[in-house]
Each structure stands twice: as C-alpha cells, then as structure tokens.
Structure 1
Amino acid sequence: MTPAEPSDDRLPETTRRILPWLVAVAFFMEALDTTILNTGVPTIAKSLDVTALSMKAVLSSYTLSLAVFIPISGWMADRFGTRRVFAGAIALFTLGSLLCGLSTNIHMLVACRILQGMGGAMMTPVGRLVMVRTFAKSDLVRAMSFVAVPALIAPMLGPLVGGLIVDYLHWRVIFFVNIPVGILGFLLVWFNMPDYHEKAARPLDVLGLILFSSGVALLSYVLEIFGEHRLGTGDILGLLAISLLLIVGYGLHAARTAFPLLNLTLFRIRTFAISVSGSFVTRLGIGGAPFLLPLLYQVGLGLTPVQSGLLIMPQALASMSTKFLLPRVLERFGYRNVLICNTLALGGMLMLFGTISRATPIWLIIVQALCYGVLTSLQFTSMNTLAYADVPRDQSSGASTITSTSQQLSVSFGVAAAGLTTVFFLPTEATAAPALIIDGLHKAFFVLGGFTILSALVFSRLKKSDGADEAGEKDLHIEEAKS
C-alpha cells in the first residue's frame, strides 16, 4: 500500500487530533438520520397522503442501498483515495438529505433515500479504514472508542429529537438538519483527512458484486417484509432460497477469483473470524433494543414519545462517560475476559428490561439504562478493535468492508428478530390490552437476551493473549502523556 500522503507516522499532529472528530461527526450524521426518521413516519405519511405502512419502503430502501454499496467501499478507497471517497460520501449523503426534504411524493422520497444510502455505505467502512491506517494498533482502542460513541448516541437521541422536530417544526427539518453538518464535514475532510490509496488498485470484481449485492439486497428485503403477510409463505421461502443461492454462488466465485469483492480468506485469521462472527450474533440480540424500548415505554407504559426519549438518553450519557476508561479495562483484563463477561452481562441486562412494568420506579429504569449504556459501549469498542488485531495493514480495506457489511446485516437481522419475536408473543387480541402487550414485550426481551448470551460461546474461543497489541500498556501511557 502506497499512500498519497506521508506515511502515518509522519502525519501532522493536528491531523491525528482532528481525524477522530471528522469520522465521528460523519458517523453521527448518518446514524441520527435513520433514528429521527422512525419517529416522523406517521406525520410524513399523512403529509404525502399515503398509509403509514407504505412508509416502510422509505425505511427499507436506505437499508437495501447500504447492503448493495458497502461491498465496493474498500475498492473505491484503494482506487480513488480515502480522502476523495470519504468527502464524496458526505457530499452524496448531504445531497440526498436535501432532496429527501424537498420530496413531494413517496416515490421521490424512496429514490432520494437510495441516494442517501449510497453515500452512507461509503462513510462507515472508509472512515474505519482511515482510522486503522493512521493509528498504531496500540493507539487504536483509544481512537476507535471515541469514534464508536456517535453510533451509540444517535439511536438514543433520535426518538427524542425526532419527536421535538415533528411536534414543533416540520417533518422536512428531519432531513435539512444534515445539510449544514454535511457542508462543514466535507470541507474539514477535504483539507484535513489523509489520502491513502494504492497505486495499482485491484480490478473490480463485477460478477462478485452482482452475486453478493443481489443476494444481500434480496435477503434484506425478505427480512423487511417477513411477518407482514404481504406475500405468501411460499413466495417468501422462494425469495429466501434465491437470496441464499446468490450468496453461496458468490462464495464459490470468490474462492476461484484472484481479486474477489470480499476477501473471504481473511476469515482464516482467527481473531478476525471470531470478532466478526461474535459481533454478528451479539447484534442479533442488542440490535433489537432500540426497536423494543420505545414500544415498551410508549405502548406498554403509556408514556409520550418525548418521555420515552428521555428515558433512553441515559444510555448515551453512560456511553460517552466511559469512553476514556475502555483502554484501561481492556489492558487490565484482556479481550477474552472482557468480551465473555460483558456479553453475559449484556444478555442479563436485556432480560432485566423484560421486568419493567408500570410499577417500576423511574429511577430504577434510569439506572438500568445507565448500566446498559456502559456495557454496550465496552462491547462495541472491543469487538470493532479486535477485528484488526492480526490483520495485515495492506489488507485493512478488505477487513473494513467485511466488518461493515456484517454489521449492517446483523443490525437488519436484529431488528427483524425483535419484530418477529414480538409478533410471536403478541396475539391479535392483545392490541387493545396493555397488560398483554407488556407481557409480550417482556418475553421478547428475554429471547433477545438469550441470543446475546449465546455470543459468549463464540468469544470463548479467544486466547488470553489475543489483542495484546491494541491494549499495550507502554503505548497507552505514551499516548496519555501526549494528551
């Protein structure tokens, strides 16, 4: 790998300091957009004269766009440079936000959400790639823990911010808030981000792109419509079979081509394989929490959207307050112990959410939210940094692409699992009975907590020495002295 800029150990100190902020702001803008939109769905549907169910296409089109375009992010970064691609991603996302806010019908809104997804698909993997190539492995935990905070904060602030915008402003502001942030982010990235690229970038795997993206997009679509009875069981199973055949076809193709779209040989690296697979299983459980908690608070406990958002906010505050402690925790206990114990604690905490009722004191709900925020912050940072523990630097773009694709799929699967689990435990007649709704939601939390606990089995395959470079005591102390 030959960077266009000086090698990362010669980058200006100003660039090192501002880079995590640049990536964090872009991640926050992208993550906040979706969570705010969820709150405004009924109002937008009424304004565009469509049913609320029709708005599902607005939400799923963004997810499908991410699934299709994330796999080429690594190739784009290697071919055109990280600075150009990341700045272009912000510009495309901002343009899509503007057009979404100007949309006059649902078809235009869906098309603009796809445009947003194209930009968002490049932000996360390319941003993570720049971080990996800029910071030494011993400093990566500290940098990534800072960058991971927006992804934790946005789902917590989204419902509250979305409720305030819909109640006091106009639903179009949901999209317009991205414009000033996007313009500022584009300028800062263009003048401050290092520009890593390869002089001889590998050729684009067009057939692999068609097979994998089609399979993933179709699988995501099946998950979106599953349980809605819009298609018969036979149709859904047929689409599911086709999507799996396309994905398996990509796997066979990737094994035979010199430059596959996703370098599956990276899974031969034990720590990478464990991190990606463990992260996937973990998110099957905790990925549904942002979907279930508003239902529990608003439908089950009868709170307003703003009150519900205020109860979720302590999770974000706890995540922020612990980001500086994470390197010390990993240094003291190691990745294996942290991930096993923290995963078990996360599963238990999800189950505790399944005990909240109208009789539960507000202060106890807040305490649970604070604890959950600490645990999720530690979990995400540990999983994200462990993935690169033994990955060669010249393969970091491929690792970033696989990690981002896996995370996007696991989030979609997690929300789908939460929705399906809730529907399973909520009979039709329960829609008018709050007590039965609460009982169904409680059972859903217990099931998702069980999913999360299962991922501890994956992390148990780690060795005590795994990830030692990321949490090296000497380098951490040097970094503390610099700051």
Structure 2
Amino acid sequence: MNSPLPPTSLPAISPSTRRLLPWLVAVAFFMESLDTTILNTAVPAISAALRVGPLSMKAVLASYTLALAVFIPISGWVADRFGTRRVFSAAIGLFTLGSLLCGLSTNIHLLVACRVLQGMGGSMMVPVGRLTLVRAFEKSELIRQMSFVSIPSLVAPMLGPVAGGLIVGYLHWRVIFFLNIPVGLLGLVMVYLHLPDFREEHTHPLDAVGLILFGSGVALLSYVLEVFGEHTLGAGEITGMLVISLVLILGYWLHARSIAYPLLDLTLFRIRTFRASVSGSFFTRLGIGGVPFLLPLLYQVGLGYSAVQSGMLIMPQAVASMSMKAVMPKVLARLGYRNVLVSNTVIIGCLLLLFATIGLHTPVWMIVLLAFLYGGFTSLQYTSMNTLVYSDTTEEQTSAASSIASTMQQMSVSFGVACAGLATAFFLPHEEHASNVSMIHGLHKALIALGLMTIVSTLVFRSLRKDDGQAVSHPKVFHP
C-alpha cells in the first residue's frame, strides 16, 4: 500500500468564488469540447486554402487528440506540484496561444505543430478543472456542480457543426481559431480573480518512465484508431503499430505495479465504485461516442438536409441536457446510482435503436423528440458516471482519480469514433454513387450495432450495490 500524501492545503473560498467557479470551469470545458467539432466542418475549406488533400487534414485532427492522450496522465501530478490556479491558467494560456498560432498558420506542418500546443493546454483544462471542483465543494454538492459543467461537453458537439458551417460560409476558416482568443483572455482574468489555489504540501517524484511507456503507447494507439480504415497504410503496418502500442501499454502496467508512485495509480481500481464508474464510462462511450459522427451523416447524406439544418435537428439534445440539470440530484438521491446507471444505459441503447428507424418519411417532430430524449438521458448518464468516480476516494486520491478518469474518457471518445467508423465502413455501400436509400439502410445498421453495444455495457454497472454513491447523492450520509 502506498503511504498517503500529506493533506492538501485548502484556501478559504469566498461565496462569490463558489458561485463563479463552476462557470469558469464550464467555459474552459466548452472551449476544449467545441474545438474539434467546429473544425470538422471546416476541413474542406482549410485543405483547399493550404493546398493539401482533405485526407491530409486528418493529421490536424489527430495531432490534437494525440496531445490530449499523452499529457492528460500528468495533469494531476502537475496540479499537486504547482497548484491548480497556476496550472489552470497556464492551460488556458497555452490553448489560447495555440489557437492564435493555428489561425495564423500558412501551411499544414505549422498547423499540426500548433494543434499539438493546443492539445497540451486542453489536456490540463478538463482534469484540473474537475479536480478544482472536487476540492472546492463537498461530495454532497458534486452532482449539481458536475451536472452543470458537463453541459458544455454535450452542447459543444451539437453547436460545432452549425457554427463551423456558418463561419466557413460567411466569414473565414481562420475565425474558427480566433474565436478562442477573447474567451481565453477572459478566462485568464477570471482564473486570477476567482480560482482557488489547491496544492499538496509535498509531492512524490514524477514517474518519467511511466510517462514514456504510457504516453507513447496511448499516442500510438490513438493514431492507429485515427487512420484505421484509410488506404494510406497497409494492413501489416497497422497491425505492427497496434502490437507495439499494446506492448507499451502492457509494459506500463507491469512497471506501475513495481513502483510506489506510478503515473496512474491503478490501485484505485480496487475501489468498487471507482472501477464501475471508469470502466462503465469507457464501455458506454464505445457505443454512444460515435453518435455525433453518425447522425449528421444520416441527416445530410441520407435524408438530404443541409449542414445547418442537420445541426438544428441535433440542437434539442442541448436543450434537454440543460433541462436535466435541476432534476439530476433528486433522481440520483431517490433511485440511487445503481438503478439509474443500469436502467439509463439500457434506455440510451434503445433510443439508438429508435434512431435507426428514421427514414425519408419520418416527420421532423419525431426526430426532434428523439433528439430531446437522447440529450436528457445522456446528460444524466455522463453526470452520474463523472460524480461516482469520487464517491469513495479520499482527499489524497482526488488528483489521481481525476487523471485516470480523464485519460480513460479521452481514450473512450477516440475508441467510440473508431467503432462508429468501423460500423459505418462495414455497413455502408461501397459504390461511389449509391442511392440515399442504401445510405440510410447502412447507417441504420451501424446505429443498431452501437445501440446493442451500449445495452451490453450495462453489465458493468450491475456490480454496483444499492447504496453505492450515497456520499455524493445523500448529504446526510456525508454529514452524519
């Protein structure tokens, strides 16, 4: 067993800070979440402006994901060592600077390098922001706060395609990156005024060997997932990189078991609620992570809607996500985490199966209703999984728990998009001029596959007990 670190120094938190802190973290989450989705729509315009093929733009998207995967694991240690205020402000500063340089880039190589800089900032914003909330609020308050700051991660993928299309259509693709600059500067001021500075009195040494093993393994695995299905690399090359990435990750697992302070503290998986939350979140996102990729294809390629119309059909998800904010604490307190996660995961899977019934003659109001229901239940799912992580962890374990949860979440997003891509490639017709009816049928099959995968992931949450999570859902349990 590792000896616990000395207690975290807790600065006094003013009432104004308690009110503004969730907003500050939510804005940072929104910046990070919006970045990729808004960029996807602009890929053709950027590739034409930089005089490269659209497939070459995959490196611009993948470089950001790779930076997230590599640097998220050290976010907890960096925050403990240098303090949440300094690290969070540095993260926003790096992200803002990277955005400015991306907007000024004149070739794809510079753009890729600047995206890596953006990713370094983004990798610290989400886990350090979540860690700050965990340390600033009582466990019994976490559901409300986490439900609020999780809204941006649900809203951004819905606003991104619409915003990207409008910017490219009426302004310039560089504006996509320049939008982050005023938001980032405002965020830096807000951090200076209102972010508490949590830090550990003493920190253990950084696991440099673990960072190299895990970071390179996850980065290579993420890259394999990004390029899987393309024709730029052969099956042998893909297989070789996949094997190397798995060997590196296995090497990290063996290394982590042999030292006192590993990069990611895998002993946290001995905690039942932590294990169920992190692993359940991972497998659930394998099914639902690719939905933002499939629905625009269904609406635009299959049904013939424009990019803006497609985005408007997805917007009800955001409305439902915000509407659920007020009722989530009551639902979890009344039903308990086990009942909510088991039933809610099945409901989400069934909603994906219903999306697979949308066709050319489906009325718009039916699509809107499905989107609204899906947004509400996914919002409840994300908040439940994100708060259960901290139910039975101690104060000394919060930074390690935040790093693992954020790392697994980022990996699951990449895996989820990969699953959607594989399902789509398997079911969609390969003819260049396939009819929209054939496209719809192929997308339906892909949605059915993801829906069934989501329902199966319910098995992970069945390991929970009826009273698990009461530290964050029942104030009386946390305060006897």
Q: How would you bin the TM-score normalised by the shorter chain?
A: over 0.9
- Greater displacement, 195-204 / 273-282: 195-204
Counterpart Cα distance in 1 of 2:153 and 2:477: 26
Code of the aligned partner of 1:24? A
The match for 2:24 among 10, 22, 25 is: 22
Q: Where does residue 316 of structure 1 map in the other structure? A: 318
Q: Does 1:224 align with 2:226?
A: yes
Match of 2:265 among 257, 263, 269: 263
Which of residues 162, 180, 185 in structure 1 aligns to 2:164?
162
Instruction: Report the AA paired with residue 377 of structure 1.
Output: S
Match of 2:464 in 1: 462
- Pairing of 1:37-52 with structure 2 (within 5 A): 37-52=39-54
Q: Equivalent residues in 2 for 1:42-81 (5 A)?
A: 42-81=44-83
Report the CA distance shift for 1:235/1:31 in structure 2 as closer, same or farther (over 3 A). Answer: same
State the partner residue of 2:117. Answer: 115
Whole-Å separation in 2 of the counterparts to 1:430 and 1:339: 42
Q: Could you tell me which residue of structure 2 aligns to residue 284 of structure 1?
A: 286
Say whether residues 1:244 and 2:246 are aligned partners.
Answer: yes
SS of the equivalent of 1:390 reads coil
Q: 1:471: Cα distance to partner?
A: 1.1
Aligned pair partner of 1:129 in 127, 131, 138: 131
Q: Is 1:355–2:357 an aligned residue pair?
A: yes
The answer for the alignment partner of 2:107 in structure 1 is: 105
State the alpha-carbon separation in 2 of the partners of residues 208 and 393 from structure 1: 23
> Match for residue 375 of structure 1?
377
Shift of 1:191: 1.8
State the alpha-carbon separation in 2 of the partners of residues 240 and 467 from structure 1.
37
Shift in Å at residue 309 of structure 1? 0.5
Shift of 1:203: 0.4
Which residue, out of 282, 291, 302, partners 1:300? Answer: 302
- Tell me which residue corresponds to 1:480: none
Judged with a 3 Å threshold, the aligned counterparts in structure 2 of structure 1 residues 475 and 14 are, in CA distance, closer, same or farther, namely: farther
What is the CA distance between 1:287 and its match in structure 2? 0.2
TM-score (norm: length of structure 1): 0.97
Shift of 1:5: 4.7
Q: Which amino acid aligns with 1:104?
A: T
Shift of 1:476: 11
Partners of 1:63 and 1:460 lie apart in 2 by 31
Mapped partners of 1:29, 1:463: distance in 2: 36
- The CA distance in 2 between the partners of 1:469 and 1:430, in whole Å, is 55
Structure 2 partner of 1:412:
414
Q: Work out which of the residue numbers 394, 398, 413 in structure 1 matches 2:400.
A: 398
**2:92 pairs with 1:86:** no
Find the residue that maps to 1:170 and give its secondary structure: coil
Is there any run of 5+ residues in structure 2 with no aligned partner, and where?
1-5
**Partner Cα distance (2:20, 2:334) in 1:** 28
**How far apart in 1 are the matches of 2:478 and 2:317?**
27
State yes or no: 1:275 paired with 2:280.
no
Match of residue 38 from structure 2: 36
CA distance 1:266–1:474, shift in 2 (3 Å): closer
Residue 465 of structure 1: SS of its match in structure 2?
Answer: coil
2:440 aligns with: 438
1:320 maps to a residue whose letter is M
Distance 1:384 1:424 in 2: 32
Q: Distance in 1 between matches of 2:23 and 2:8?
A: 21
Per-residue CA deviation, residues 306-354 of structure 1 (Å, 9 max, x unaligned), is 0000000010011011111100000110000000110000000111111
* SS at 1:323 equivalent: helix
Paired with 1:11 and 1:46, the residues of 2 have a C-alpha distance of 50
What is the 5 A alignment of 1:135-146?
135-146=137-148
Between the aligned partners of 1:149 and 1:63, the Cα distance in structure 2 is 21
CA contact (8 A) 1:89 1:119 kept: yes
> Does the residue aligned with 2:18 lie in a helix, a strand or coil?
helix
2:386 alignment partner in structure 1: 384
Q: Which residue of 2 aligns with 1:198?
A: 200
Q: Counterparts of 2:434 and 2:275 in 1: how far apart (Å)?
A: 46
Instruction: Quote the Cα distance in structure 2 between the aligned partners of 1:242 and 1:199.
Output: 38
Q: Which has the higher mean CA deviation after the structures are superposed, 228-237 or 353-362? A: 228-237
Q: Percent identity, please.
A: 67
* 1:229 CA drift (Å): 2.1
Q: Secondary structure at the match of 1:228?
A: coil
Q: 2:298 is aligned with what amino acid?
A: L
Q: Aligned partners of 1:346 and 1:145: how far apart in 2? A: 18
Give the AA of the match of 1:421.
A
Equivalent position amino acid for 1:265 in 2: T
- 1:257-282 superposed Cα distances (whole Å, 9 cap, x missing partner): 11100000000011000100000000
* Per-residue Cα deviation, 1:148-168 (whole angstroms, up to 9, x for no partner): 111110001111111111111
CA deviations on 1:434-474 (whole Å, 9 max, x unpaired) are 11111110000000011111111000110000001211155
CA distance in 1 between counterparts of 2:80 and 2:465 reads 32
> Would you say the 8 A contact 2:7–2:395 is kept in 1?
no
| SS of residue matched to 1:204 | coil
Q: Does the aligned pair in 2 maintain the 1:430–1:437 contact within 8 Å? A: no
Q: Distance in 1 between matches of 2:399 and 2:252?
A: 19
C-alpha distance in 2, partners of 1:384/1:188? 25
Report the AA paired with residue 318 of structure 1: A
Letter in 2 for 1:358: L
Determine if contact 2:7/2:396 at 8 Å carries over to the other structure.
Answer: no
Q: CA deviation at 1:3?
A: 4.4
How far off its partner does 1:205 sit?
0.4
TM-score norm. by structure 2 comes to: 0.97
User: Does structure 1 retain, via aligned residues, the 8 Å contact 2:290–2:416?
Assistant: yes
Distance (whole Å) between structure 2 residues aligned to residue 72 and residue 165 of structure 1: 35
1:430 CA drift (Å): 6.1
SS at match of 2:415: helix
Alignment correspondent of 2:336: 334
Deviation larger for 427-436 or 268-277: 427-436
SS at match of 2:103: helix
Structure 1 unaligned blocks of 5 or more: 478-483
Q: Count residues with an aligned counterpart.
A: 474
